[in-house]
Amino acid sequence: MTVTGSILLVDDEAKIRNALAQALREDGHEVTATESPREAQRLLGRRVFDVLLVDNLMPELTGLDLIRELLASTAESDRPQILLMTAHATVESAIEAMKLGALDYLQKPFDIDELLVVVNRALDHQRLRTQHRYLLSERAEEFNHYGIVGRSRGMQEVIKTAEVVAKSKSTVLITGETGTGKEMVARAIHYHSAQREMPLIKVNCAAIPENLLESELFGHVRGAFTGAATSKKGKFALADGGTIFLDEIGTMSPSLQAKLLRVLQEREFEPLGSERSQKVDVRVIAATNRDLRAMVTDGRFQEDLYYRLNVIPIQIPPLRERRDDIPVLVDHFIQKHAQRAGKRIDGIEPHVLEALQAADWPGNVRELENTVERAVVLSPNSLISPEVVRLLGVSSSPPAGLPSLNLRQNLDWAERETVRRALETSSGVKKDAAETMGISQRALSYYLAKHRIE
Ligand SMILES: Nc1ncnc2c1ncn2[C@@H]1O[C@H](COP(=O)(O)OP(=O)(O)OP(=O)(O)O)[C@@H](O)[C@H]1O
Ligand SMILES: [Mg+2]
């Protein structure tokens, strides 16, 4: 595919200028040709060109000087791609021009085919730069609210509720499948509340053994149980004045549910082994990927507690029910991981994006992010191609919960997900993660290296 564009051609030699202009026009481009660098400066100040093709040695001003002035006087967004033409003897100026920011150079004499190839490549670059900038601004202005990316109606709803609830101190219950962004929404609420300077304390109820969770939440006094050599503050006390985020609340035992209900009702609690109750002023945000209402019906979750938690419900839809979000998320993650990897990635081929948009993503946004991250890391060029994503085994209708029908890939996926989640629930403490997984720390190190998890 050839792209056509607007080209400003500057060369003082009429014969060359006319020949080049004609060839470029025949190739479909819009060409403005001038013999005068001064005139070129005026034109560049007045309108935007896609490509500036400039000779170096001219009587009024050299091509290099013109480039320098252009770079100093225009914003990056209004700049053309710059191509310098030089005679054999002045390759140094070509190198100088590239250092300044020119895209390429042509060494005179060159043939027309060579010129067309170089110009077309410059136009490709220009088009990607424009697209890229458009996506960036589109994302920044419209679809990125506190780092929550989403344009679908479902996510807009979530964002709106989060915005409103941030202004209050109401209890919030966030529900959604794994990887839909529950923790991210909880953080957004805290950091947009009046308590943002106060602590946000996270407790993962599933990661802490039941017998330790109570002391973790409420603290204990010295001698409260065997091994309690000193007294310890609980997470509620630490979160005083701020927010406590109770993740995976659905796994909490009935006895703790009762204690939590009391904190929500009375705003006070007793540390283990203490008679004295302590007042706290905290906002509670709870999250779960389980159906709490069904658990109430089955008698596995206390009804009163459910209503106390469900003051403001926020339900995050699974990614497969908001496929409109996929393109903006993909773009967001490309930027994020390209920057991290120190790579330049301009985008993704359209049918690769279609495949990503058609996939079911049982692991939701987290899984999409992992896929994009690997694509960015593996991509040999600046446009993510179908080959790269095929390597990652994205298929559009995976069996429930698994990414593909390939056994090896699924085993790998399960291994990686288990390690990743164990690390997440243990806040990155490897010893705890290994214990949670029931493996040795050495085995964990092996899996970390194997899956390149940091
Ligand atoms: N709308 C979004 N915009 C940008 N990033 C997102 C979005 N949703 C999720 N993410 C990213 O996906 C990852 C998973 O999100 P998060 O940890 O909040 O999910 P979760 O619902 O808490 O999952 P789990 O139930 O497994 O704990 C995070 O890295 C988060 O930054
Ligand atoms: Mg979470």
> Which residues on adjacent β-strands are paired with residue 287?
174
Q: Which CATH number fits domain 148-317: 1.20.1260.10, 3.40.50.11540, 3.30.565.10, 3.40.50.300?
A: 3.40.50.300
Place 381 in a pLDDT band, splitting at 50, 70 and 90. confident
Domain residue limits, the chain: 6-141, 148-317, 320-450
Tell me, in angstroms, the distance from the centre of ligand 1 to residue 398's CA: 21
Average of per-residue pLDDT across 394-422:
68
Instruction: Give the model's confidence band at 393: pLDDT under 50 very low, under 70 low, under 90 confident, else very high.
Output: low
DSSP collapsed to 3 states, the chain: CCCCCEEEEECCCHHHHHHHHHHHHHCCCEEEEECCHHHHHHHHHHCCCCEEEEECCCCCCCHHHHHHHHHHHCCHHHCCEEEEEEEHHHHHHHHHHHHHCCCEEEEECCCHHHHHHHHHHHHHHHHHHHHHHHHHHHHHHHHEECCEECCCHHHHHHHHHHHHHHCCCCCEEEECCCCCCHHHHHHHHHHCCCCCCCCEEEEECCCCCHHHHHHHHHEECCCCCCCCCCCEECHHHHCCCCEEEEECHHHCCHHHHHHHHHHHHHCEECCECCCCCEECCCEEEEEECCCHHHHHHCCCCCHHHHHHHCCEEEECCCHHHCCCHHHHHHHHHHHHHHHHHCCCCCEECHHHHHHHHHCCCCCHHHHHHHHHHHHHHHCCCCEECHHHHHHCCCCCCCCCCCCCCCHHHHHHHHHHHHHHHHHHHCCCCHHHHHHHHCCCHHHHHHHHHHCCCC
Query: 6-141 adopts what CATH topology?
Result: Rossmann fold (3.40.50)
320-450 has CATH 3.40.50.1820 classification: no
CA 220 remoteness from chain centre? 40
Q: Which range among 68-72, 101-105, 249-253, 435-439 has the greatest average pLDDT?
A: 249-253
What per-residue confidence (pLDDT) applies to 391?
63
Ligand 1: centre distance to CA 148 (Å): 9
List, for residues 336-357, the tens digit of each pLDDT value: 898 888 888 888 888 888 889 8
Which amino acid is present at 245? Answer: F
Residues in a beta bridge with 107: 86
d(CA 112, CA 206): 68
User: Which residue from 199, 198, 200, 240 is spatially nearest to 219, judged by alpha carbons?
Assistant: 240
CA distance 420 to 82: 46
The response to whether residue 148 sits with its C-beta less than 6 Å from ligand 1 reads yes
Q: Distance from the CA of 222 to the center of ligand 1, in angstroms?
A: 38
Query: 345 C-alpha vs ligand 2 centroid, how far in Å?
Result: 29
For residue 106, what are the contacts with CB-CB under 8 A and spacing of at least 6? 83, 84, 85, 86, 114, 115, 118
Ligand 1 center to 365 CA (angstroms) = 6
Rounded mean pLDDT, 154-166:
92
Q: Does ligand 1 come within 6 angstroms of the Cβ of 362?
A: no
Pull the structure tokens for residue 228.
């309690």
Query: Does the structure show a pLDDT above 90 at 262?
Result: yes
6-141 matches 320-450 in fold: no
Which of the four pLDDT bands, split at 50, 70 and 90, describes residue 400?
Answer: very low
Write down the pLDDT at residue 142: 46
pLDDT at 112: 92
Side chain identity, residue 202: K
Q: Which ligand is nearest to the CA of 203?
A: 2
Determine the residue of 146, 149, 200, 369 to mutate for testing ligand 1's pocket, defined as the one with the most ligand atoms within 8 A of the Cβ atom: 369
Q: What value does the mean pLDDT take over residues 216-232? A: 88
Ligand 1 contact via 379 beta carbon (within 6 Å): no
Is the pLDDT reported for residue 397 higher than 50? Answer: no
Ligand with minimal distance to 185 CA: 1
- For atom 9 of ligand 1, the residue with the nearest CA is 181
**Residue 138 has which token pair?**
């589109």
CA distances from 50 to 25, 179, 364 (A): 14, 42, 40
| Other beta carbons less than 10 A from residue 72's beta carbon | 7
Atom 24, ligand 1: residue with shortest CA distance: 178
Does the beta carbon of 182 lie inside 6 Å of ligand 1?
Answer: yes
